[in-house]
Chains A and B, each alone.
Chain A
Amino acid sequence: MPSLSDIQFYLPVSMDFVMIIPQLAILAFMLGILLLDLLFSDDETRSTAAIAVLGLACAGFYSLRVLWGSSSYAFNHLLLIDNYGLFFNALFCGGAILAVLISARYIEREGMALGEYYVILLGAVLGMMIMASAGSLITVFVGIETLSISLYALAGFNREKPVSGEAAIKYLLLGSFATGFLLYGIALIYGTTGSFDIITIGDHIKAHGGPDKVMLLGAVLILIGFSFKASLAPFHMWAPDVYQGAPTPIAGFMSTAAKAAAFAVLFRVLSIAMPGLHKHWHALLYVIAIITMIIGNLSALGQGNIKRMLAYSSIAHAGYLVIAILAAGRGEALGAQSILFYLIAYTLMNMGAFGVLSALARRNQNNETVDSFAGIGYRHPAYAAAMTLFLVSLAGVPPTAGFFGKFYIFLSAVRADMIPLAIIGVLNAVVSVFYYLRVVVAMYMQEPGEEIERDKILWWPAALAIGISAAGIIAMGLLPGRFINLAASAILSGI
């Protein structure tokens, strides 16, 4: 046991703080909104929304324009500041901006307009940023929990609505249960390698050749914890209920940005801390990828509720992303790039779809179902056209972002010599076309039922968010090379 005088104290220097300006900006805006909310009248949340968007834009801009290209450590290796983390910072900020724009009208209409909503949303973004830049299992844990606790609160934010509380309690209990496993895994890895630093852990595992059983158990428990957060089968059971019950913009946010954060940290930990265990996690994730895709797609087929259908589809998309991780693990450069490409595309198309849903579906009326979308194509042509674009892109039809996302993933699987996995993936993608197009068919080819009262006016922030998502999907579909180059530059300097 070392005495106190042996312990090396690390004093942060100003450079450490410069490197985390995006995180600090989010924190400052979070606290600022909390204080400003006292000055506003009770139902005034539009100004808070505007301030939140400003903060997110600042943090995203700073990550992409100012810090971009740096490759260093902050706070004694607790955070790794590289293009990979910065890329994800910007992605999270972008996803959160879309979520705020969609929420602005939604929370007023649903009677849950409180300034805390945006504070907690920014808290979730802060947690994601810490996850994506984590260089130590300590920051991995703190980031994941900052994100998760914020999401527990957001899922139950609509206190008047019983399903919202139900979503929150299911998410809370299953989420903290999974946290227990993640922590136990971290403890076992710490006990066998003697460090929390992911680079040191990676070196230690490589240097000691074959892993012992305790270390393997620790790695498996950590993977279980991450699988839960990324909603990979068989740890996906929470996702449909939580997405269906949570406020619609939050469900969109959880299924995109939060999922991106889970994959960001999963890929970083696997590729830095666990290359020495590649053989083992490859076999495990291979099975997980297959069952995740199959369970997600087959369960989505029978869903009548569109939110629930999108929840199962988001499980299936997580399965495709695991294929990319497996390809990257075999040293296929396109695999790593396609993870980032797919996450941008998925964030745009899923946030867009949830944006249309939150604009059209109202409280206390059963109009989140596929049947209730009958005839929308004639009553709300703009929304229907956007929804069609998002669904077609989710299904992976060219020339949309979703097509190239899947194309790059399956191509990387083929190049990494995993042809069976690529074939299973393609077959799943074909099945998924059916349930996405079912909604399109309902919108355009079925007789409209009784007119459900919907918002007459187009509320411009939501329309703007839907427009941005649609434009982004088309841009990625027409110029996929640019985005794959961006992904490549985020990977090269980083991992």
Chain B
Amino acid sequence: MIGVSHYLALSAILFSIGVAGVLTRRNALIIFMSIELMLNAVNLSFIAFSRHLGDVDGQVFVLFVMAVAAAEVAVGLAIIISIYRKRGTANIDKVNIMKW
């Protein structure tokens, strides 16, 4: 029987993979994808809790998260493209005019 704890464990694992991706990868696009993975891992938690509690608010929140993530991607990709056009690379280690 798959219960709420399985979903929460999966969500925690996905979130950790996302965090590891952000911390280890150097390409801005891949970092960004890892952040999206973190957000979607949280969405899974919301759905699992929502089902477990019998409360629809959690599902409503997921819609908000998806809308916000879409807006963030729109702005984020624009910024990454403008960086790429200026420097010919999306590697964040090369984006270092100022000290990190």
Q: Are A169 and B79 within 8 A (Cβ)? A: yes
**Chain B residues whose C-beta falls within 8 Å of the C-beta of A184 in the assembled complex:** 15, 38, 41-42, 45
Query: What are 28 of the A-B contact pairs (CB < 8 Å)?
Result: A138-B60, A141-B68, A142-B64, A149-B71, A159-B82, A162-B87, A162-B97, A165-B79, A165-B86, A166-B98, A169-B80, A172-B79, A173-B22, A173-B35, A176-B32, A179-B72, A180-B18, A180-B38, A183-B39, A183-B42, A184-B38, A187-B45, A188-B45, A190-B58, A191-B8, A240-B98, A240-B99, A245-B98
Give residues in B with beta carbon < 8 Å to A: 8, 15, 18-19, 22, 28, 31-32, 35, 38-39, 41-42, 45-46, 48-49, 51-58, 60-61, 64-65, 68, 71-72, 75-76, 78-80, 82-83, 86-87, 92, 95-100
Interface residues of A in 201-251 (CB under 8 A from B): 237, 240-241, 244-245
User: A241 vs B79: C-alpha distance in the bound complex, in angstroms?
Assistant: 16
Interface of chain A, main secondary structure: helix
A237 CA to B98 CA in the complex, in Å? Answer: 12
Task: List residues 238-276 of chain A with CB under 8 A from any CB of chain B.
Answer: 240-241, 244-245
- Of the listed residues A138, A165, A240, A241, the one surrounded by the most CB atoms of chain B closer than 10 A to its CB is A165
Known A-B contacts A138-B61, A145-B68, A156-B79; A1 and B28 likewise in contact (beta carbons under 8 Å): no
Q: With A and B bound together, what is the CA distance between A7 and B56 in angstroms? A: 8
Query: Within 8 Å CB of B15, what residues of A?
Result: 180, 184
Q: Using known A-B contacts A1-B51, A166-B95, A176-B35, determine if residue A145 contacts B86 with beta carbons closer than 8 Å.
A: no
Q: Is the CB of B64 within 8 A of A141?
A: yes
A145:B71 contact, CB within 8 angstroms: yes
**With a CB–CB cut-off of 8 A, which chain A residues contact B60?**
138
Chain A residue, CB-CB nearest to B99: A241
Q: Is the CB of A191 within 8 A of B92?
A: no
A420 at the interface (CB under 8 A from B): no
A239 shortest CB reach to chain B, Å: 12
Given A145-B71, A156-B79, A196-B61, is A241 in contact with B100 using a C-beta cutoff of 8 Å?
yes
A173-B32 in contact given A191-B49, A241-B99 (Cβ < 8 Å): yes
Contacts of A195 in B (CB 8 A): 55, 57
| A190 close to B57 (CB less than 8 A) | yes
User: Chain A residues with Cβ under 8 A from B19's Cβ?
Assistant: 180
- The reply to whether B98 and A244 contact each other, CB–CB distance below 8 Å, is yes
Q: How large is the interface on A (under 10, 10 to 19, 20 to 34, 35 or more residues)?
A: 35 or more
CB neighbours of B28 from chain A (8 A): 169, 173
Q: In the assembled complex, which residues on chain B have CB atoms less than 8 Å from the CB atom of A12?
A: none
Judged by a CB distance under 8 angstroms, whether A170 is at the interface is yes
- Residues of A contacting B45 in the complex (Cβ-Cβ under 8 angstroms): 184, 187-188, 191
- Residue ID in chain B nearest A176 by CB atoms: B35
Bound complex: CA A253 to CA B43 (Å): 32
Known: A156-B79, A173-B32, A191-B49. A162 touches B86 (CB 8 A): yes
Beta-carbon contact of B35 and A2 below 8 Å = no
Residues of A within 8 A of B (CB): 1-2, 7, 137-138, 141-142, 145, 149, 152-153, 156, 159, 162-163, 165-170, 172-173, 176-177, 179-180, 183-184, 186-188, 190-191, 194-196, 237, 240-241, 244-245
Chain A residues with CB under 8 Å of B99's CB are 240-241
Whole-angstrom CA separation of A1 from B53 in the bound complex: 8
Whether A2 contacts B56 by the Cβ 8 Å rule is yes
Given contacts A177-B22, A244-B98, contact A165 B83 (CB under 8 A): yes
Residues A190 and B46 in contact in the complex (CB < 8 Å), given A1-B51, A149-B75, A169-B80: yes
CB distance from B12 to the nearest CB of A (A): 9
Complex alpha-carbon distance, A76 and B42, angstroms: 25
Contacts of B76 in A (CB 8 A): 152, 172, 176
Taking the closest CB of chain B, its distance from the CB of A27, in whole angstroms, is 15
Q: Which residues of A contact B100 (CB under 8 A)?
A: 170, 237, 241
Query: Which 7 A-B pairs give the minimum distances between C-beta atoms?
Result: A180-B38, A191-B49, A187-B45, A183-B42, A145-B68, A168-B79, A241-B98
Q: Measured between alpha carbons, how far is A168 from B86 in the docked complex, in Å?
A: 13
Please give, as numbers and ranges, the residues of chain A lying within 8 Å of B31 by CB-CB distance: 173
Name the A residues within 8 Å of B96 (CB-CB): 166
Contacts of A145 in B (CB 8 A): 68, 71-72
Which A residue sits closest to B38, measured CB to CB? A180
Q: Which B residues are in CB contact (< 8 Å) with A245?
A: 97-98
